[in-house]
Amino acid sequence: MPRLKKLASITGIATLALLALPQANAQALKVVSTFSIISDFARNVGGDRIELTTLVGPDGDAHSYEPRPADATAIGNADVVLVNGAGFEGFLQRLVQASAGKATVVELSKGATLLRNAGDGHGSHEGHDHDHEHEHSDQKEHAKAHHHHHGDHDPHAWQSVRNAQVYVSNIANAFCAADQQACPAYQANARSYSEKLKALDKDLKAAVAQIPPQRRTIITSHDAFAYLGHEYGLRFLAPQGASTGSEASAADIGALIRQIREQKASAIFLENVSNPRLVQQIANETGMKTGGKLYSDALSAENGPAATYIDMMRHNIETIRDGTLGK
């Protein structure tokens, strides 16, 4: 009998090993993401089932990014390529062509609620309820200079948490299409992360509610926060357009400074991907004090305050709240 028990035990262990074999031998899904915020979404959905390559890392500026040969190789070897779309990655088409890869390129902003680049210089879009009838001529001239770069729509859609949930759903669908066996795991991860995003959205609204309505006009380096403003009732003005690659002329800056004074902007902020020179110039000429650094198109390094998307959104809103309240 002891010998039979021993044989049964060995057989059981061997069976368990065979059951585990497909997972152990399962090849990780090779995923390329264009920038760090998308990579954080991908990690939350894919977990340890994906092998992730990020083209533009933490604190990197995707607007001005110059691809390397290694990037083309990564895309050429990828199963899935995750991109923002809406004209955000100006380098993408050349890079995909150079890679000669056959990976599915997934535009994560598809299905999200996109705001139109109507050329008003402060995140104008269809359905926006701001009154533009009293727009000053200076503001119009400032706006005219920035009606370019990204086409019809503002690409920074992830700055709305509801849009971020669309990105996550699109990632789960892409992973399921490429790796059907692991689809239940991807879907479960996406649901779990989406619940965290719902809680985040509620917290952000509560934080903005602490800011008096008359103190909700804010200055940043470039037009990256229109979705944040639309979603949470803030108004952003910027010397640069939707791309950090745009140049603000002396006339643009002068028009913006007059606009700031007329509309009594309450705070001015630096950005992690923008040259601080313009913001410092505006701060000096208006007497405003900079209220800290916001993260727009990239996460911070791991030891920074915005190492994940959720951390970034909390940091930005809390920094805005404290800056506008003079804390």
Residue 296 has pLDDT above 80, yes or no: yes
Look-up of token digits 């000669």:
100
Task: Specify the pLDDT at position 275.
Answer: 66
Residue 209 has pLDDT above 60, yes or no: yes
- Taking the alpha carbons at both ends of the chain, their separation in whole angstroms is 77
Which residue in 200, 285, 193 sits closest to 239, CA to CA? 285
Coil, strand, or helix at residue 27?
Answer: coil
Task: Specify the pLDDT at position 249.
Answer: 75
> Contact 162/168 with Cβ under 8 angstroms?
no
Higher pLDDT, 51 or 4: 51
Tokens of 159: 């700055």
Residue 88 has pLDDT above 60, yes or no: yes
Going by C-beta distance under 8 Å and a sequence separation of 6 or more, which residues neighbour residue 322?
Answer: 291, 292
Tokens of 12: 């059981």
Burial of 284 (0-12, 13-18, 19+ CB in 10 A): exposed
Task: Specify the pLDDT at position 127.
Answer: 35
Which residue in 78, 72, 89 sits closest to 31, CA to CA? 78
Per-residue pLDDT, averaged over 86-115, amounts to: 94
Distance CA 271, CA 265 (A): 17
> Contact 52/43 with Cβ under 8 angstroms?
yes
Q: pLDDT, tens digit, for every residue of 250-289?
A: 887 888 888 888 888 999 998 886 667 888 888 888 888 8
Task: Specify the pLDDT at position 118.
Answer: 52
pTM: 0.81
Distance CA 11, CA 140 (A): 78
Per-residue pLDDT, averaged over 187-212, amounts to: 98
72-86, 88-102, 192-206: least confident range: 88-102
Q: How much of the chain exceeds pLDDT 70, in percent?
A: 78
Residue 145 has pLDDT above 90, yes or no: no
33-47, 181-195, 285-299: least confident range: 285-299
Distance CA 135, CA 140 (A): 7
Tokens of 63: 């607007």
Please state, as a whole number, how many other Cβ atoms lie within 10 Å of the Cβ of residue 249: 12
Pairing status of strand 217-219 against strand 235-237: parallel
Distance CA 185, CA 172 (A): 9
Average per-residue pLDDT for the chain: 83
Angle value at C-alpha 203, between 38 and 236, nearest 5 degrees: 70
Phi and psi for 146 in degrees, rounded to 5? -110, 10
**What is the residue-wise DSSP string for 210-230?**
TS-GGG-EEE-SBS--HHHHH
Distance CA 304, CA 290 (A): 19
> Is residue 19 very low, low, confident or very high in pLDDT (cuts 50, 70, 90)?
very low
Task: Specify the pLDDT at position 273.
Answer: 64
Our separate counts of H helices and E strands in the chain read 11, 8
